[in-house]
Structure 1
Amino acid sequence: MHIKEEVRERHTLAIIVDNEPGILARIAGLFTARGYNIESLTVTDISEDDLISRITIVTSASAPVMEQIIAQLERLVPVHKVVDLTALGPHVERELALVKVVGSGEHRIEALRLAEVYRARVLDATISSFVFEVTGGTGKVDTFIELMREVGLVEVARTGIVAIARGRDAA
């Protein structure tokens, strides 16, 4: 007997919640308790009065599991709305990374050349190091970091993915 393996797809969720202590822990706990992995997580206040926040979570799951995740998130009291941006259709995703590279001579020149190709900005420069800011899709950020490994990468800090639907409608 063959057991059919479910196809897992990457999904980006926008979750609108009350901005209150513990809500992030409750949402993360929901994922942890059910064995779902959070690949990326960002949170920000989105209201003038600091009462509402937007949590963006990237996870991978099969369609039935994704439906379950969304249903469970919607049942949490401080959650106002859950939108699966992936299922919704076209959306824009971006990530920011700070990348520190140490080197001299040809490695330093190559780091600057690569930064120019990837449109990374130099935020800090010393005689022996650079800190670059690179933004874009996850693939672009991943590739830039991999290339910087060759020329002296020493540290990376990443924001995680932020995303928004295209068109007139708001999450």
Structure 2
Amino acid sequence: MSALKIKKGTSRHSAYDLRDPHAETEERHTLAVVVDNEAGVLARVIGLFSGRGYNIESLTVAETDHTGHVSRITVVTTGTPSVIEQIKAQLGRLVPVHDVHDLTVEGASVERELALFKVSGNGNDRIESLRLAEIFRANVVDSTLESFVFEMTGTPQKIDAFAELMRPLGLVEMARTGVAALSRGMD
């Protein structure tokens, strides 16, 4: 450690870029994993990430074919290109996995996330929160004399932007579903 107590390395929030300039940069990737819908499959897929120290930024799971008992797991993760390739290869080797798609590299895709925001406020803050909700196309799904619950669907960046604007107006609580994504086009 230096005299300034700056640790070697950096985070994305650091003012100091101490990373090796020749190292591979980390990228954000959205992976769609088609799996058998049976007990323990999600634990095996997620265990692959945690056992190797890979981070999951977002996770969404739902059955997509009731008759075939198939589910789709959408995982947003970050890593160097070689780490992402290793993740995809290791996922593909798991027995209950049918298919692994990297939506980030396979072409254009659509990503959406659902979020609920509880905002508490009175007077002008209440009016301003309603005005911002209208601009962001958020719906009021619950209203009391002291608070609102807004529902919004959009990109993760849009949801982050709305949350930042709501914080000074009385954002109390937020719940997010995680990213759901599909590739665009016929494939």
Q: TM-score scaled by structure 1? A: 0.96
Aligned counterparts, 1:52-67, within 5 A? 52-67=70-85
Aligned counterparts, 1:1-171, within 5 A? 4-49=22-67, 51-169=69-187
Runs of 4+ residues deviating >6 angstroms: none
Q: Deviation at 1:49?
A: 1.9
Matched residue SS, 2:24: coil
The structure having more radius of gyration, on CA atoms, is 2
Q: Deviation at 1:62?
A: 1.1
Structure 2: 5+ residue stretches without partners: 1-19
Larger relative contact order (Cα-Cα within 8 Å, sequence gap ≥ 6): 1
The sequence identity of aligned pairs, in percent, is 61
Counterpart code for 2:107? G
Matched residue SS, 2:65: coil
Q: Deviation at 1:51?
A: 0.6
